[in-house]
Amino acid sequence: MKYWRETLAVAQRILIELLRRRRSLVFWTIFPVSILLINGFIVAERAQLSMAEAFEYAAPSTLVGAALFFSCLGGSVATVVAEREQQTLKRLFISPLSGTSYFLGIFVAHTCIGIGQTLLVYTIAAFWGAKFQGSILLGGVIILLSIISYVGVGFVLGTQFARRTEDVNALVAAFGVPLLILGGAFVPSFVFPKTLLSIAKFNPVYHMVKALSGVSDEGKKFADIELHFWFLYVFAILMVVAGWLSYRRMLSVERRL
């Protein structure tokens, strides 16, 4: 009960702060919509697909490869760094708030944002006639695992490498953009040269995109995307553990008034 109450308090606070910064909220909306439209129109034109097929193809990579990456990874880095800069972390250390609740609170808040972006991306894709071809439940689990992975990585980066707000952009750009490109978020992975493709197979974004595209666009079943799913599953667990350890490390360094 204590954890649940604290988790909700932290999540609600993050969401209220986001709602207060209306401009950010508008930008978080513009970003996936614009990427989806650009991807959709490019694919329709270059691959000679119908708009419905093009948006079915573009929606998963736009969502997990771009939208969730920036909102969940960039967002959780920004949350931790902002708490550090405002020094509100100190106030949280003084309070009985547990580290687990804090982590879960950030995760729940970003899950809400991720769900919002999922609805947005798929609503717009549906407007062009796209359909979710496979199991919605399996698709939901893949999206959830992607969010967990991103929040975990965000925690590691935010607690270990980003001291100030200015660091966030540099970090996300340095780690993120190559991973996104190599993950097939912007350029389809089938155009990658062989060497790059073998490197991409170690990239979690590649597996997120492949797993969700398989289910959402191609209507594949679990058995067909098993390899991507398990890679993502293990990565998500590793990132939760790494995020948690990073948070504990930060606690031991910063638990001072």
Nearest approach in angstroms of CB 31 to other proteins is: 21
Nearest approach in angstroms of CB 20 to other proteins is: 4
d(C-alpha 66, C-alpha 49), whole Å: 22
Nearest approach in angstroms of CB 150 to other proteins is: 23
Which ranges in the chain belong to alpha helices (H)?
2-20, 22-46, 51-60, 68, 75-86, 88-94, 99-127, 136-160, 165-171, 177-183, 194-200, 204-216, 222-254
Nearest approach in angstroms of CB 153 to other proteins is: 25
26 three-state secondary structure:
helix
218 three-state secondary structure:
coil
Q: What's the length of the chain?
A: 257
Indicate the residue type of 247: Y
d(C-alpha 71, C-alpha 110), whole Å: 7
User: Is the CB of 17 or the CB of 45 nearer to other proteins?
Assistant: 17
Q: Which of 162, 217, 224 is nearest to 184 (CA)?
A: 217
Residue burial 165-178, b: 16+ Cβ < 10 Å; e: rest = eebbeebbeebbee
Nearest approach in angstroms of CB 108 to other proteins is: 14
Nearest approach in angstroms of CB 55 to other proteins is: 35
User: Is the CB of 164 or the CB of 256 nearer to other proteins?
Assistant: 256
Q: Which of 85, 79, 84, 208 is nearest to 143 (CA)?
A: 208
The tokens describing 199, both together, are 């490197």
User: Is the CB of 46 or the CB of 248 nearer to other proteins?
Assistant: 248
d(C-alpha 248, C-alpha 246), whole Å: 5
Instruction: Provide the binding-site residues for other proteins, judged by CB under 8 A.
Output: 2, 5-6, 8-9, 12-13, 16-17, 20-21, 86-88, 90-97, 255-257
Nearest approach in angstroms of CB 152 to other proteins is: 23
Q: Are 109 and 10 in contact (CB under 8 A)?
A: yes
User: Is the CB of 90 or the CB of 131 nearer to other proteins?
Assistant: 90
